[in-house]
Structures are given as structure tokens and as C-alpha cells.
């Protein structure tokens, strides 16, 4: 890995400060990821699943904000709370694939402002249109190469 991260790429590199501590660079932004101490990490940053859920939450809020502004709706504040867990497939009656376990993300959205019931209902529908939600709920492909 180099000191320059090309546009569109994210660089993740382990650090010497802990067993699982990672430095993440995205454009001009730097953040950390780690595992909790309960699994051998230093808890110096969010876990990878916390980062994944954070991406969904940020995208959801941004998508709702863009739609509400375009419509001129009085949304004062958006709060998205997320919880990720692994559940046994038998606990998921609607699942098409039957792996041993599936990932379930619970998403709770709070919309503050003088919105009527129809506006709230529509904004909840718009939440499912956020690009990260769309990515997580369709088939995906990850390709991996080893570089020198």
C-alpha cells in the first residue's frame, strides 16, 4: 500500500498499536477500526460491522434529507439507530437462501418536525431507496487480487 490513495479507493492498513487496530483512509479522511476488548482488540475504533451499519445509517439519513428538501417538507432532524446481529436462518421466515446464519440489521428512524402521517410514511419508504440499503439487499460481488 502506498501513501497516496487514488480517488474512489479506500485504504485500510493495520497499525502497530494493537492486534486488530486498523487505519482507514478515504480521500482526506482518516479513521480507525478495531475489535472490542472482549474479542482481543483494544476498542480503539468501531468494529467492521459497526462501520457497515454506520454506512447504512448515514446513507439513510442523507437520502431522507435530500428527498425532504426537494419536497419542501419540514424535517427538522433525522436520527437513525442501527443494531446488527447474526441470527439462525430458521429465525428468518422470509429468507430465500437458507445459510446457517444470516445478518440482520434493525434500523430505527426518528423524524423530528411537523410532518403529517402521509409525509412520514413516504419518508420511511424513501429510507429503503438509499444506495447503501440497495447494495446490502441485492446480490453482490467482491473480487480479490494479491498485489506486490
Q: Does residue 72 share a domain with residue 11?
A: no
| 120 in any annotated domain | yes
Residue 26 falls inside a structural domain: yes
Grid cell in block for residue 82: 442501527
Residues 75 and 132 both lie in one domain: yes
pLDDT value at position 17? 92
Whether residue 52 sits in one domain with residue 39: no
Domain that holds residue 95: 48-136
Q: Is residue 53, in this structure, part of any structural domain at all?
A: yes
53 and 33 in one domain? Answer: no
pLDDT for the residue 1: 46
Contact of 102 with 93, CB cutoff 8 Å: no
| pLDDT per residue as tens, the chain (148 positions) | 445 678 889 999 999 999 999 999 998 899 999 999 999 999 999 999 999 999 999 999 999 999 999 999 999 999 999 999 988 766 555 566 555 788 999 999 999 999 999 999 999 999 999 999 999 999 999 999 999 8
State the pLDDT at residue 107. 98
Is residue 18 domain-resident? yes
Q: How many domains does the chain have?
A: 2
Amino acid at each position: 500500500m502506498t501513501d497516496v490513495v487514488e480517488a474512489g479507493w479506500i485504504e485500510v492498513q493495520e497499525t502497530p498499536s494493537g492486534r486488530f487496530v486498523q487505519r482507514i483512509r478515504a480521500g482526506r479522511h482518516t479513521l480507525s477500526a478495531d475489535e472490542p476488548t472482549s474479542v482481543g482488540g483494544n476498542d480503539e475504533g468501531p468494529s467492521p460491522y459497526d462501520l457497515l451499519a454506520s454506512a447504512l445509517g448515514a446513507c439513510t439519513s442523507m437520502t431522507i434529507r435530500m428527498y425532504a428538501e426537494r419536497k419542501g417538507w419540514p424535517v427538522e432532524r433525522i436520527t437513525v439507530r442501527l443494531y446488527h446481529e447474526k441470527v439462525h436462518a430458521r429465525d428468518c421466515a422470509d429468507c430465500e437462501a437458507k445459510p446457517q446464519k444470516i445478518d440482520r440489521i434493525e434500523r430505527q428512524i426518528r423524524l423530528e418536525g411537523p410532518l403529517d402521517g402521509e409525509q412520514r410514511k413516504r419518508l420511511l419508504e424513501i429510507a429503503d431507496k438509499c444506495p447503501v440499503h440497495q447494495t446490502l439487499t441485492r446480490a453482490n460481488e467482491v473480487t480479490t487480487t494479491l498485489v506486490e
